[in-house]
Amino acid sequence: REEAREPRAGDKRPRTGMSGNECVYAPRDGGDAGDGGGGAGGGDAGFASAIMRDSMSHRTDVTWYTSLVARKTSLSALLLGKLQELPGVWGNRGQVRSVEFRQGNIKGESGEDDDCKGSERVRWGVAWTYERASDRCAACLSDAGVRPFRVELDGEEAVRRLGAFVDGFREHELRRSSVERRSRSDADGAEDGRHRCLTVVEARFGERDSTDPPATHGNLPQDNSSLPGCGHFLLDIFVISDAKTGEGSAAATIVVEAFCHTRLGESMARKIAAQLPGEVTRSNRRWRRLLKRGLDPG
């Protein structure tokens, strides 16, 4: 255990005569106390794992639990391992946070303080909560791999094509609703600051009232009781109509906001969003074949 024999890195304090918490964590289940890894052993990951186990008994007493780790491998072990299996959290993105702490004000080559250079001394904070995230949790916002795109259509026709695409999507049964909402990415907005918005979720979640208590649906192994009412993901597809550029001409901009609560939700949202431009503009392979044959399924 080299860590126990070396002086403490921060203040060079000798390890002799220190308590167990100040020195190295006691090994658990045969783990090496000095490994610092993500197993059941010691190190910062072992300490954080112990907090996670204890937090299960106090899930209604504390809103957010936090811990600090010194190694990125420990952070990965917690985010991709322990927190994915922690009952009541299950790795849901709205219930997990991580942040990087970097020490500033280090001396540059000129001898002056150089905040821009950063520091090699880095620590990572990780936090988790047992409270369900909201459907549109900011921490779950993803670009879903698609940027806003413009179509030479009026707003009503764009909404109609989007609806037909959602209703006929083959890989997953989806449910949509159409309302007027403000887009997060729209700085100026229309005169009233609101646009036509098509909200898309999985049909099996969309059939539930958002006020219903969480429930394990059991359809997929990745389902869990802490998912928000919208399920694994929620898509807000905004149709922002432009002012008419000429007689009889119109255009609109399609903006997609994806809220992905799990890795499965991210995968599903990306599959849907990736097909939107080709379906709305009717420029993908399927539409080229249909139009060549003179068919229009609507």
Enter the DSSP assignment of 215: -
Structure tokens at 224: 């869990």
Interval 6-41: pLDDT, tens = 776 667 766 665 555 554 444 444 444 444 443 445
The pLDDT of residue 29 is 45
CB 190 within 8 A of CB 200: no
- pLDDT of res. 271: 93
Greater confidence (86 vs 26) lies with 86
Which of these ranges, 91-100, 180-189, 261-270, has the smallest mean pLDDT? 180-189
List, for residues 264-280, the tens digit of each pLDDT value.
Answer: 999 999 999 999 999 99
The C-alpha atoms of residue 98 and residue 101 are separated, in whole angstroms, by 10
Task: Return the exposure string of 174-187: e unless at least 16 CB atoms fall within 10 Å of the residue's CB, then b.
Answer: bebeeeebebeebe
Q: Which two tokens stand for residue 288?
A: 């080229």
Q: What is the pTM of this model?
A: 0.74
Helix, strand or coil for residue 240?
Answer: strand
Length of the chain counted residue by residue: 298
Radius of gyration of the chain measured on its C-alpha atoms:
25
Q: All domains of the chain, ordered by start, with CATH?
A: 2-128 (no CATH), 138-292 (3.30.310)
> Of all residues in the chain, what percent carry a pLDDT higher than 90?
43
Name the residue among 197, 281, 199 with its Cα closest to residue 240. Answer: 197
Q: How far apart are alpha carbons 117 and 111 in whole angstroms? A: 12
Q: Which pLDDT score, from 0 to 100, does residue 158 have?
A: 93
Side by side, which strands form the sheet with 65-69?
65-69, 122-128, 96-102
Residues 6+ apart with CB under 8 A from 222: 232, 262, 264
Are the beta carbons of 175 and 203 closer than 8 angstroms?
yes
Max mean pLDDT among 20-34, 38-52, 184-198, 221-235 falls in: 221-235
CB atoms within 10 A of CB 151: 20
- Kindly compute the dihedral angle of the four CA atoms of residues 261, 262, 266, 269, in this order, to the nearest 10 degrees: -60
**Rounded to an integer, what distance in angstroms lies between the CA atom of residue 221 and that of residue 148?**
33
Residue 82, pLDDT above cutoff 70: yes
Structure-model confidence comparison of residues 187 and 179, the more confident one: 179
Structure tokens at 107: 């001396």
pLDDT in tens, 42-52: 688 888 998 99
CA distance 284 to 79: 38
**What is the reported pLDDT for 23?**
45
Q: Express as a percent the part of the chain with pLDDT over 70.
A: 70
Which of 28-32, 156-160, 214-218, 221-225 is predicted least confidently? 28-32
The band of 198, judged by pLDDT with boundaries at 50, 70 and 90, is very high
Within 10 Å of residue 109's Cβ, how many Cβ atoms?
Answer: 7
Return the higher-pLDDT residue of 266 and 250. 266
Q: Among the listed ranges 138-142, 192-196, 207-211, 223-227, which one has the minimum average pLDDT value?
A: 207-211
- Whether the CA torsion 140, 240, 287, 245 is positive or negative: it is negative
- Nearest-angstrom CA–CA distance, 103 and 192: 45
